[in-house]
Structure formats: C-alpha cells, structure tokens
Amino acid sequence: MAGVPIGRRNLFSERRRTFLGIAGVGVALLMVLALDGIFAGAMREVSRYIDASGADLFVSQRGVRTMHMSSSSIPFAAVERIRMLPGVRWADPILYDSGAVTASEERALTYLIGYAPGRRGGPAPLVAGEEPGPGEIVLDELAAGTLGVGVGGRVETLGRSWRVSGLTTGMTNIVNSVSYVPFDDFAAARGLDGVASYVLVGSDVSTGVMVRRIESATGLTAQTRAGFSAEEGRRVKDMSTELMQIMTFAAFVIGLAVIGLTLYAAILSRQREIGVMKALGARPGRLGRIVLSQAAWTVGAALAVAVLLALGLGWVLGRAAATLPLVVEASSVVRVAVAAAVLGALGALSPLIRVSRVDPATVFRR
C-alpha cells in the first residue's frame, strides 16, 4: 500500500469533478496573479516619465520626494546655483501639475509638464509632428486617440486652448498620461514667475556625491532618478494597497472554498475504499497523507494552470491594451504558491476529519 499513489488515483478517478475543481482553484489563483501583474505593470508605467527623462538626478523643494499628489517650488536663483556646481553637466527646470486635457466631450487625466523646447524634460520620442511652440501642446498618442484629436487638433487644459503640435508614445498608463507644453506658456497660464517645480540634472560625478553637493548648496531635496522613481511608485502603491488586499482576500476565500469542496467530494465518493483501507490496518497518518496528497495535486495543478493563463493574458493585454500591462513577476508567483499551499492545507481540514471518522464496519454493511 505504501508504494501506491492512492491519493492521486482517487482524485483523478472522477476526472470531470477533479478538473472542475482544479479549474475553480486555478481561476481563483489567476485572479490573484492577474491583480498582482496589473499592479506591477501599472507601477512601472506610472514612473515612465521619470525613468525616460535621461536625468541623473531630480531636485525638488525641500521635503518633496514625489510628483504624484505633490507640489514643489524652486526659485530660478537655486537653478543657477545648481548649474554652477562642480560636476553638473546640465540642469534644466520643468513646471509640473496634474490635471486633465479635454476635447469636445472627451477627457483624459494627465501629468502636465512645462519645459523649454530643445532642452531636457520634454517628450521623447515623437512619433508625429514636432515639439510645441507658443500655444501648442504634445500629447501621448493613446491619449490623443481617446480624445479623438491628432496633430493640428485643439484641446483644452490649464484654462486655455492649445493646438496639438506633436504626438509622443509610451506615456499613457492605467492612471493617466503625460502632456508637454512650453515652459513660458505654462508659467503664464498658472501666473508663475521666476520659479520651477523640479530641476533635472545631468552629472559627471557619482550621483551620491552630487546629491550631497546640491543639498548642501541649495537646501533643496535631491534624489537619484532611480530613487525618485521608486518613491513615485511607492506613493501610488500606498494609495492602492487597501483595495488590492480586499480583492486578493476575496480571491483566496473563493480558492479555499473550491479546494475544500473538491477534496470533500473526493472523500465522500471514496468512503467505501477508505473503510476497506482502515479495515486492512491503514493507520490515521496514512489516510491523512492520502488526503494531503489530493490537496497537493489539486493546488499544484491549479497553480500551473494559473501561471500559464496569467502569462498568456499578459501577452494578449500587451498587444491589445497598451495602457493595461500585466507583468507576471517571480516574486508574485512565489507569494501565490505559498498562499496556495496554505489554502490546500486549510481546505484539507474537513476531509481529514471526515476520514478519521470513517467506520470500517460500513464496508460490511453494503
């Protein structure tokens, strides 16, 4: 008896029921993997402007460490001091605000960036048109598609009308897009004079050294591009964590219920065989291992199905919906695998109790 894989054979003897159980658990695990994957993809896209800026450092008002839900103001005098520091290759200011771009009755949320055309901080690459001149704006091509405008069209933002001079790509995500206007026009629309929101810096020395030089000389907050990007992602993630936890918990509850029902049904359908094994001397530990083996096979097969479906879904979304990337990370698979193992153990509790109470005499009454 010890060499016979009874748990697996019992489980797959009722193939339809077993496959339905595996499918149910797989869908529950897929929900968790998909949520994790969409969240991971969204976090990458949220900081795309920062990551693609080409700056070695971002400088902001003291204590400001993100763009999202933040406000920063830096006087031009501080910009000039940064430019004069040893090791600074270039330093270009930008203005920043979050808002919306509208056209007709359509509306798209956006990060608005004011920059000096020809300098750093602007759109790259352009897929159509050219950099903005006075009264002009560059939109991401997906945002422009949502608004139903192209090069030469007109949109509203910052309380005024703008002509679309060009289109960029890769700057629309699940949260918003990025739009670009000339620095002077942005300042005039907002009534700003002599200030920037952030300063993008290129450095010829190590970023750690330059961070200390800038902060010592200006009293502002300087961060590496990677550090600034990580803070941006962390801010958005913190705002979404509670919702993610609720949805993940719901998926795991569904998975737990399906595992429990699948195993319990398998035990009920094989109650006579279990009685025979007990009559032949099978001890409770052996019967318990049979149930746990069934749980392991159910969870293992469901996890494999879920990972394959998540990878396939990520491929489909990557081709069909550029604003909704799904990235299946190894850390996410490990977390789901550990959680699935816990679900399998919990789901096996009721069948284990049922097995322990099977009376061998029932075999001889039928």
List pLDDT tens digits, range 65-116: 999 888 999 999 999 999 999 999 999 999 999 999 999 889 998 999 999 9
**Is 262 inside a domain boundary?**
yes
257 shares its domain with 320: yes
| Residue 99 backbone phi and psi in degrees, to 5 | -170, -145
Name which residue leads in pLDDT, 25 or 84.
84
CA distance 81 to 213: 11
Alpha helices in the chain (DSSP H): 6-13, 15-46, 48-51, 76-84, 141-147, 183-190, 207-218, 225-269, 271-279, 284-320, 330-347, 349-356
**Is 53 inside a domain boundary?**
no
CA distance 157 to 137: 10
Report in angstroms the alpha-carbon separations of 133 from 30, 162, 166, 168, 179.
48, 10, 10, 15, 14
**Is 57 inside a domain boundary?**
no
The pLDDT of residue 4 is: 47
pTM: 0.69
Q: Which of 219, 251, 286 is the last residue of a domain?
A: 219
**Is 227 inside a domain boundary?**
no
**Is 51 inside a domain boundary?**
no
Alpha helices in 133-283 (DSSP H): 141-147, 183-190, 207-218, 225-269, 271-279
249 shares its domain with 203: no
Is-contact 80 249, C-beta < 8 A?
no
CA distance 273 to 266: 11
* Residue 335, domain extent: 6-46+240-365
Q: Which of 219, 251, 271 is the last residue of a domain?
A: 219
Is-contact 71 241, C-beta < 8 A?
no
Which residue, 308, 43, 271, 67, is CA-closest to 174?
43
CA distance 292 to 299: 10
280 shares its domain with 214: no
Please, what is the average pLDDT of the chain? 82
71 shares its domain with 171: yes
Indicate the pLDDT class of residue 1, thresholds 50, 70 and 90. Answer: very low
Tokens describing residue 95 = 């203005």
Burial 177-210 (b: 16+ CB within 10 A, else e): bbbbbbbebbbebeebeebbbbbbbbbeeebeeb
92 shares its domain with 151: yes
Residue 203 has pLDDT above 60, yes or no: yes
CA distance 243 to 249: 10
173 shares its domain with 248: no
**Is 52 inside a domain boundary?**
no
Number of domains composing the chain: 2
83 shares its domain with 197: yes
Least confident of 31-40, 119-128, 192-201: 31-40
Which residue, 160, 122, 163, is CA-closest to 144?
163
Residue 16 has pLDDT above 50, yes or no: yes
Q: Is 165 exposed, middle or buried (0-12, 13-18, 19+ CB in 10 A)?
A: buried
CA distance 115 to 300: 53
Residue 250 CB contacts under 8 Å (≥ 6 apart), including other chains: none
- Count the neighbouring beta carbons within 10 Å of the beta carbon of residue 311: 15
95 shares its domain with 208: yes
Helix (H) or strand (E) holding 365: none
Is-contact 290 6, C-beta < 8 A?
yes
The pLDDT of residue 228 is: 94
265 shares its domain with 361: yes
Name which residue leads in pLDDT, 88 or 28.
88
**Is 1 inside a domain boundary?**
no
Residue 86 CB contacts under 8 Å (≥ 6 apart), including other chains: 205, 213
Indicate the pLDDT class of residue 176, thresholds 50, 70 and 90. Answer: confident
**Is 335 inside a domain boundary?**
yes
31 shares its domain with 99: no
Name which residue leads in pLDDT, 268 or 100.
100
CA 65 to chain centre: 20
Is-contact 270 11, C-beta < 8 A?
no
The pLDDT of residue 232 is: 86
Residue 121: left (phi > 0), alpha (psi -120 to 50), or beta? left
120 shares its domain with 215: yes
247 shares its domain with 211: no
